Structure 1
Amino acid sequence: MTKLTADDIARLTTGAHFLACCIDPSSLGIYADMITNAISDHPINLVSVDDLDQDALVVSIGIVTQGPMVAEMLPSGDEFLTCIADIEKRLGRKVTAIYSLAAANVNAIIPLMVGLQSGLPVLDSDGMGRVFPMIFQSTLNAAGLSISPITMMGVTGERATIEAATAFRAEILVRAVVTEMGGWAATAMYPVTAAQMSTNGVHGSISRLIKIGRILDGEGSADAKFVKLVSLLGATRIARARVTHLDSLARQTDRQVPSHAASITLEDESNGRIVRLEIRNEIVLALVDGAVASATPDIITMLSTENAKVLSLEDITVGRVIDILSVPADEKWYTPEGLALSSPQAFYIPVKHPRQA
C-alpha cells in the first residue's frame, strides 16, 4: 500500500494529461486542486490488486459526458458515493476498492477524490491504461466480463441503474441517459472480483502517470525528457513538425462516438515529410506521407519542443512546431479481441492497425 502525497497528485495530473491524447485538461486541474487541498487530512491509499482477497468486489468510477464540459457544472460531492451505494445494493455485497474508468484525463483522478470521501482504497489498475471515448473500450469487456450493472447519478440528482446484455448496448443506453441528465453523469460500472481484475486489467496505471509527470515536470530540455520517456514507456517520436493546416470536419461520426472529427496537417521541415493526425476525441491515427506511423490503441500525444509541455488541441496553431510521440498501449490491446474494440476501424476509419491481421 502506498499513501499518495500532494506532490504525487501534481505529477499524476501531468501524466494524466500526457495520456489524454489532446483532450482539454481543464476539469483535470479542478479536481487536482480539490484533492490537493484535502489530502493532508485524509490520506489516499493506493493498493495493488494483489493486496486484496481474490473474491473482493472492485468497481470502476468515472464521469461519462455528452455535451457540456464537466468544469462548467461540477458535481456537488455525493454523486459517486451514491453510485457505489446503489451498486452495492444491486449486487448485495460491499465494494472493497475502486479503480479508474480510464487512466488518463479527468477519469484518472476522480477515484482519488472518491477514495478521500469514502475511505476506500484506490487500485493501481484500470481497464484501459489510457483513455478511450466509449465505455465498451475496456480490456475487461475484451475479456468477456460484464459491464453491468451500471449505476448513474447526474447534476440534477437523478439516478439510474442500467442492466444491458452487452457493453455495446450499454453504451447507447448510458449516452441517452447522460443527455437527459444534463450532459454528464457520475458512474460506477464493471463490477469484478480482484481475481478477474488481476487477470484482465491494466496494472500500474496510477504509478505510471506519476512517473510520467515527474519526467515532464522536471528540469531539462524537451530532448532530454524524451530520452527518459523512451526508457520508461518505449516512446518513439513520430516527427518534429510544423502545423500547416487545422481542419474541424463537418461530418458527424457514428452516434456512439461523442464528438465530431478533426485533423491536423504538419510538415517535418528536416525531411519534407507530410504528417497528418486524425482525431476522434483523442488522436487515433498518425500518417506520414500517407503511410500509417501509429494508430490507436497506440497512445499518440503532442508535446512542446521547448519544454515538453503536454499540448491540447486548443494549443495548436498554424505555424507552431510540435513533437508528436507514440507510446505502445498495454499488450492486451493488441490481441484480436482488443484490436476489435480499439483499432481505427472501431472509430469508423477504414484503416487497420499495423499489428492487425
Structure 2
Amino acid sequence: MELTAADVPALVRGAEVLGSGGGGDARAGGVLVSRLLRGGAVDLLDPAAVDPDLLVAAVGMVGATVVFTEQLPGGGEFARALAAAERWTGLRAGALASIEAAGLNAATALVTALAGAGPDGALPVVDLDLCGRALPRLDQFSLAVAGSDITPLALALPGGQVVVVDGGDAVTTERSVRSVLAGGGGWAALAVAPRPVRELLEHALAGTTRRVLDVGRRLLALPDAPAPAALARAADGEVLAAGRVLEVVRHRGAGGGFGGGFGRGSLVVRDRGTSTLLRLEMENEYLLALADGDLVATTPDVLAVLDRRAARPVSCDRVRRGDDVVVLRLDAPAFWRDPARLCAVGPRAFGYDVDPVLVDPVSAAEAHP
C-alpha cells in the first residue's frame, strides 16, 4: 500500500481520534508529511508479509507537544536521531515504524522516511507501533510491557544536540529521558534502535496505521453535523454522551502519572437526550468516564470527544465549557486486553484506584453492523 498526499487528511483525523484527547496536534504532523511528500509516496508494509529479519526502527516525538507545535521542526531531527541509534548499534534500519500511531506521532515515521530519502527514495514504513493509541510514558511502550528492552534509543534535541540512552530498565529510561527534555528545549525526536520484524510482531501492535486511516476516511465522509450514532459507526465505537460541556476543571502538575508531573482535570457533559451527566477524568489523555457517578469506561479503551458539527476530535487542552460534543468509546487493541499487560495502561497506572471497564468488542460490532 502506498501513502500519498491524498491520504494525509484521513491520517490526521484518525490520529486525532486514537489520540484519546492527547498525543499532540496531529495536524502538525500532517503539515510536515504534506510538505515532504511533494507528489511522492511512502510504502506502508504489512508486517506479516515482509522478511522477518528486516530491521525496523521505531521513531517519534517525545516531550511537550505544545512547544513542538510552536516551533515546527524541519524533519531532519528524526533522521538525526535514527542515524545516532544506527551508529551506536552498528545496525542499519531497512524500514521504519511509529512509536505511537496516534496524535502527531502517527506521522513521524513518514516524516523520517521522507526526510532521510536518498537516491532510492524513502524508506518503507511497516504498519505497526508500540502503543496502539496515545500513551504518555516510555515505560508504557509495548516493548517494555512485554519484557523487552527499549534501549538503546537516541534523542535529537531542537538545539542540535544528540543524546543516546543505553542500559537500565524502562522506568529508569523514562526518568532519564524526561531529565534530558527538561534541559533541552522541552521536546526531542526519538529513535529506538533497529530490531527485526519477528521481534516486533511479538512485542508491538500491528495494523494500527490502517486503523487510523480507516477511521479518518469514514469520519471525513460524513455530512456536516452528523447524528451521534453515525459518528459512532464511522469510528467503530459507541456513544457515551451527546450534549453540552457544562464544566471543565484543570489542575497543573497534580497528575498520578510517572513522577506526578502531568496535569490533571475533568469535564462534565450533559447528555441531550437522557440528561445523564457524563464526567471525564483526564491527564494527558481522557482516562475515565462516569455516568451519573457510575464508572462506565476506562483506559486503555479510547475515549474521544468530538465536536458534534465538525466531527473533529477536541483535545484535553482545548475542550471548553459550552462546547457541543459527542463522547465516544473505542475498543482498546487486543494487545492491551491481556491481563498481564492491562495493569501497565489501566486506571491504576495513572493513579486511579479502580478496575478497568472495557467495551466488549463483540457487543460493539453488533451495535454498529
Q: TM-score, normalised by structure 1?
A: 0.91
| 1:264-275 paired onto structure 2 within 5 Å | 264-275=267-278
DSSP-derived class of the 2:357 partner: coil
Of 13, 31, 35, 2:33 maps to 35
Residue 189 (structure 1) aligned with residue 192 (structure 2)? yes
Of 305, 308, 312, 1:309 maps to 312
Of 65, 69, 87, 2:85 maps to 87
Is the CA contact (8 Å cut-off) linking 2:4 and 2:39 kept in structure 1? no
> 1:292, 1:79 → 2: CA distance?
42
> 1:15, 1:130 → 2: CA distance?
11
| Residue identity opposite 1:94 in structure 2 | R
**Greater mean deviation of Cα atoms: 187-196 or 113-122:** 187-196
> 1:46, 1:25 → 2: CA distance?
23
Is the CA contact (8 Å cut-off) linking 2:228 and 2:239 kept in structure 1? no
How far is the alpha carbon of 1:213 from its aligned partner?
1.3
| 1:145-294 paired onto structure 2 within 5 Å | 145-189=148-192, 191-220=194-223, 223=226, 226-227=229-230, 229-230=232-233, 233=236, 235-250=237-252, 252-253=254-255, 254-256=257-259, 259-294=262-297
DSSP-derived class of the 2:138 partner: coil
> 1:90, 1:37 → 2: CA distance?
30
Residue 144 (structure 1) aligned with residue 147 (structure 2)? yes
Counterpart of 2:365 in structure 1 is none
DSSP-derived class of the 2:313 partner: coil
> 1:143, 1:247 → 2: CA distance?
35
Counterpart of 1:59 in structure 2 is 57
DSSP-derived class of the 1:69 partner: helix
> 2:246, 2:29 → 1: CA distance?
34
> 1:231, 1:219 → 2: CA distance?
8
Is the CA contact (8 Å cut-off) linking 1:22 and 1:283 kept in structure 2? yes
> 2:69, 2:36 → 1: CA distance?
19
**Greater mean deviation of Cα atoms: 65-74 or 205-214:** 65-74
How far is the alpha carbon of 1:161 from its aligned partner?
0.8
User: For structure 1, which runs of at least 5 residues remain unmatched after alignment?
Assistant: none
How far is the alpha carbon of 1:352 from its aligned partner?
1.3
Residue 21 (structure 1) aligned with residue 29 (structure 2)? no
> 1:122, 1:42 → 2: CA distance?
14
> 2:222, 2:304 → 1: CA distance?
20
Is the CA contact (8 Å cut-off) linking 1:59 and 1:189 kept in structure 2? yes
How far is the alpha carbon of 1:347 from its aligned partner?
0.6
Structure 2 vs 1, CA of residues 17 and 50 (structure 1 numbering), >3 Å: closer, same or farther? same
Is the CA contact (8 Å cut-off) linking 1:215 and 1:229 kept in structure 2? no
Q: TM-score, normalised by structure 2?
A: 0.89
> 1:33, 1:120 → 2: CA distance?
19
DSSP-derived class of the 1:240 partner: strand
> 1:225, 1:95 → 2: CA distance?
43
> 1:316, 1:68 → 2: CA distance?
15
| Residue identity opposite 2:4 in structure 1 | T
> Identity of paired residues, percent?
27
> 2:169, 2:176 → 1: CA distance?
11
Structure 2 vs 1, CA of residues 218 and 136 (structure 1 numbering), >3 Å: closer, same or farther? same
Report the number of matched residues. Answer: 353
Counterpart of 2:108 in structure 1 is 110
